[in-house]
Structures are given as C-alpha cells and as structure tokens.
Amino acid sequence: MKRSETRFLTTRAGGLPRTPELCGVDVGNDGEQSRESFVTCVRGRSSSFGGATSKSLGTVPTVSRLGGSMRTLLALLLATGITACSGPTALLPGGALEGAVAPTPADWSFTDEVDTVQLETRAADPYSVNIWMIGLADRAYVHAGANRAAWVEHMEADPSVRLRVADSIYELKAERVTQQDEFDRFSDAYEQKYGNRPRNESVAEAYLFRLVSR
C-alpha cells in the first residue's frame, strides 16, 4: 500500500478538501479540469485513439442550442451518412435504390428466408423504405395495415415501384388487394413467416398490395 507523509493520497483530485500545499497535484488533467466532451475525455485516458484533437469542439453554438430530440436526430443523420440519394435506414426513409435490375421471378418463394426488403415508390422523386414482404407463387405482397403511409399514397398515385431483395432490383406494378380470400391467404403466409398474424385482417380497412410484373 502506498503511503505518504507529505501528501494526501486519494483516487482523484477533488476527492478531499485541502489547501494547495497539501493537494500534491503537479500537472492537471481531465480528472481535475472540466471535461470539454466525452470524446476528448476518452482520448486522453485511453490508448489506441490516434489522430489530432481540437478545443473547438464546443464552439458551435447553433448545435449546442438544439433540443435533445433534435440533437439525437442530427447524431443519427451524421452516424448513418444519409444523403438524398441513399437507400432507407432502420429509422428513416431514403431515396433511389441502388442495385442491378433483374427479371421478375416466376416464383417468389426464395424470399421466404429474407425478413426485410426495400421498396421504392414515386419515381419522379424516389422514396424508399424498409419493409416486410410475403412471396406467394408469382406474386409479392407488401402490407401497411390500416396505416395510410406515405408509400401507400405514392402507389395509389403511381403504381410503378421498385423492389430490392439483397442486391437485385425488380421493377414492378402495385395493385391493391380487394378480395378477402386473397387477404386470408396472405395472412396465413405472414403468420408462418413472421410468427404472428396481421393486426387488421379486414381487406376493406387494411392496405395490402400485390406486386406483379409491369
């Protein structure tokens, strides 16, 4: 155990009231000074953090005045590198999808092992989202429940859509399902794939679209 007859030993400066003579702090660091940010605190106390740092991190008043929710949104945007031409993220819609255009498959059963695909609507100003899908024979289905989502409105205005599965893009046409028996077949497949049935199974209330070749 370390002992000293000339200094108070403590785990960090500031842990005990004392006069400057008793403090024993020869060189201040982030343990004694206010931390300008978590990043610089980590960089100063941990190894394997290379590169230069700057004291200007706190000199952006327009960012510092943002509310908590706006700062969170800004952080998400910066972290994911969202641009106007990118695909969707887990939380936000995107723009035009990238990938190789492929012929429409005669059987969509290969998507049974694919949980999430990307759907692009509104060709004039592409809008894309991550979405679940069901493949039944030569038809693919996407479902919005009773929620009139933006992509639902887009497809009602222009049924031309693009669907990305893995790295392939399929150019398709959306048709709203209007027959209850077809909705019921979709619901059975939906339950088998995702483990639960659609919350609203009324074909008159829920938005279910079949995607077929143009």
Give the pair of three-digit tokens for residue 107. Answer: 């059987």
- Predicted pLDDT at 53: 45
* Distant-in-sequence, close-in-space partners of 105: CB < 8 Å, separation ≥ 6: 138, 170
Average pLDDT along the chain: 77
pLDDT band at 89 (very low <50, low <70, confident <90, very high): confident
- Predicted pLDDT at 48: 47
Residue 173 has pLDDT above 70, yes or no: yes
In terms of pLDDT, which residue wins out, 6 or 212?
212
Name the E strands within 35-113: 100-101
Residues 90-126 as b/e (b if ≥16 CB within 10 A, e otherwise) read eeebbbebebeeeebbeebeebeeeeebbbbbbeeeb
Residue 183 has pLDDT above 90, yes or no: yes
Pick the CATH number of 100-213 from 3.30.465.10, 1.20.120.80, 3.40.50.720, 2.30.110.10: 2.30.110.10
Least confident of 23-27, 84-88, 106-110, 141-145: 23-27
Cα distances (angstroms) measured from residue 190 to each of 65, 140, 197, 199: 46, 12, 6, 11
pLDDT band at 66 (very low <50, low <70, confident <90, very high): low
Residue 115 has pLDDT above 60, yes or no: yes
CA-to-CA distance for 57 and 36, rounded, in angstroms? Answer: 8
pLDDT band at 92 (very low <50, low <70, confident <90, very high): confident
pTM higher than 0.95, yes or no?
no
Burial, 155: exposed, middle or buried (Cβ in 10 Å; 0-12, 13-18, 19+)? buried
- Predicted pLDDT at 58: 47
Name the E strands within the chain: 100-101, 116-121, 127-132, 134-136, 139-145, 160-165, 168-176, 207-213
CA-to-CA distance for 32 and 15, rounded, in angstroms? Answer: 10
* Domains of the chain by residue range: 1-56, 100-213
SS3 113: helix
Most distant pair of Cα atoms in the chain: their distance: 89
